Amino acid sequence: MKNIKDGSARLFSWDKTCKSPEETAAFAKDLASRLKKGDCICLEGPMGAGKTTFTQALAQGLEIQDYVTSPTFTLVREYQGRLPLYHFDLFRLEDMDELDFLGFDDYFYGEGVSVIEWPKDFYPVLPPNPLRIEIEVVDEKSRIFHLIQEGEDLVMEREEDENIRN
Ligand SMILES: Nc1ncnc2c1ncn2[C@@H]1O[C@H](COP(=O)(O)OP(=O)(O)OP(=O)(O)O)[C@@H](O)[C@H]1O
Ligand SMILES: [Mg+2]
């Protein structure tokens, strides 16, 4: 874990290797236990990297009973759990204004957490200081998750289960 303190701007960067879908699921569940209202996670990486697989386990960690599927055609799906989950897939979205127009701020600044597959270059209209996770495909079963987040309230600095106890 690397945590660089540089004046007022803080930067967290961390790499996690998951050698199977099961390890990815355990990692996503650990991360879920640190989440709180208003958090935003952006998942980057090529097709088949594991963005939806990761989100499904994160949803289980948030005690969501429904099966999470990729919202490619609907752009966003909402699930109820310990916290609501807003699962976005912006693969098909072409224009930043469209996101604005659809009123997505109601999700971003709502009661739950947002997970965004394919954030592409939409960062200017997404919540500030998201936890960015770039998934690198190593081989058929192995992935490296590159995490990076700036700001004051860093998800990975919170204690595991901290937000479940509160
Ligand atoms: N360590 C791993 N972590 C996550 N997924 C893995 C891992 N190893 C193999 N896989 C497999 O990789 C595939 C990932 O597919 P998934 O739909 O999650 O990708 P995606 O990034 O959401 O793709 P898309 O961009 O098309 O939405 C699944 O079949 C999963 O079982
Ligand atoms: Mg997907």
CATH value at residue 57: 3.40.50.300
Q: In what order do the strands lie in the sheet with 85-89?
A: 2-6, 9-18, 143-150, 131-137, 40-44, 113-117, 85-89, 76-79
Separation CA 59–CA 29 (nearest Å): 8
User: What CA–CA distance (Å, rounded) separates 115 from 52?
Assistant: 10
Pocket of ligand 1 (CB under 6 A): 18, 20-21, 24, 45, 47-53, 70, 117, 141-143
Residue 11, in any domain of the structure: no
Q: Give domain status of residue 69, yes or no.
A: yes
Q: Is 155 among the domain residues? A: no
pLDDT digits (tens, 9 = 90+) for 99-153: 776 778 899 999 999 999 999 999 999 999 999 999 999 999 999 999 999 999 9
Question: In this model, does residue 31 exceed pLDDT 70?
Answer: yes
In a domain, 151, yes or no: no
Which residue CA neighbors atom 6 of ligand 1 most closely? Answer: 21
Residue 7 pLDDT level (bands cut at 50, 70, 90): low
Q: Which tokens go with 44? A: 């980057």
114 is a domain residue: yes
CA atoms within 13 A on the CB side of 93: 25
Mean pLDDT, to the nearest integer, of 35-42? 97
Query: How many Å lie between the centroid of ligand 2 and the Cα of residue 84?
Result: 19
Residue 47 structural domain: 20-144
If one counts the domains in the chain, the total is 1
Stretch among 10-19, 24-33, 88-97 having the lowest mean pLDDT: 88-97
pLDDT of residue 10: 87
H helix and E strand count, the chain: 5, 8
